[in-house]
Amino acid sequence: MKNCILAILSFLFLISGVNCSSANFKNQHIQREWMLVSFAGFTKDQLIANKAGIDLTGEKTDIINGNALMGCNRIFFAMEFRNRGKLNISDIKNPKTVCKNMDLENKFLESFPAMNSYKVEGHYLTLSDDKGNEMKFIAADWD
């Protein structure tokens, strides 16, 4: 009898684990708006003045569809957060219009696809590539 109850409980535990891995998973530590505060020699004031940031609030299945604002342009992309801090950015679309500060946007578009690692520490999100380049963001909802 004891083995039967243990088997049933084990089965229920396995089923509940499968059901909890829903396709509409929401990760509050990643799925938020992020303001870019450190990137490629641009000052924090320049980044803030250009409203540089990424919005990762979209619904998550395996991939978050996000967008970035750099100056006057919005950049669209897909971002997949993998195990062990690995990241894949794809499907980047940029309907370009000419802005005042195209240097920031061009540098972002050059660097962003190469970012392949991420780290969340407190209210900070850091993206990095294999060459040691980084983009550091702070959560927009944090004071």
Query: Is residue 17 very low, low, confident or very high in pLDDT (cuts 50, 70, 90)?
Result: very low
Residue 66 neighbours by CB distance under 10 Å:
19
C-alpha–C-alpha distance, residues 141 and 143, integer Å:
7
Check which CATH number belongs to the domain holding 90 and give it.
2.40.128.270
For range 4-15, the mean pLDDT = 46
Asked whether residue 86 is assigned to any structural domain, the reply reads: yes
Which of 143, 122, 31, 23 lies closest to 81 in space, CA to CA? 31
Asked whether residue 20 is assigned to any structural domain, the reply reads: no
For residue 95, the enclosing domain spans 25-139
pLDDT in tens, 66-77: 878 777 788 899
The answer to whether 112 touches 90, Cβ cutoff 8 Å, is: no
Asked whether residue 67 is assigned to any structural domain, the reply reads: yes
Asked whether residue 36 is assigned to any structural domain, the reply reads: yes
Asked whether residue 18 is assigned to any structural domain, the reply reads: no
Asked whether residue 16 is assigned to any structural domain, the reply reads: no
For residue 138, give the 3-state DSSP assignment.
strand
**Is the pLDDT confidence value at 13 over 90?**
no
How many domains are there within the chain? Answer: 1
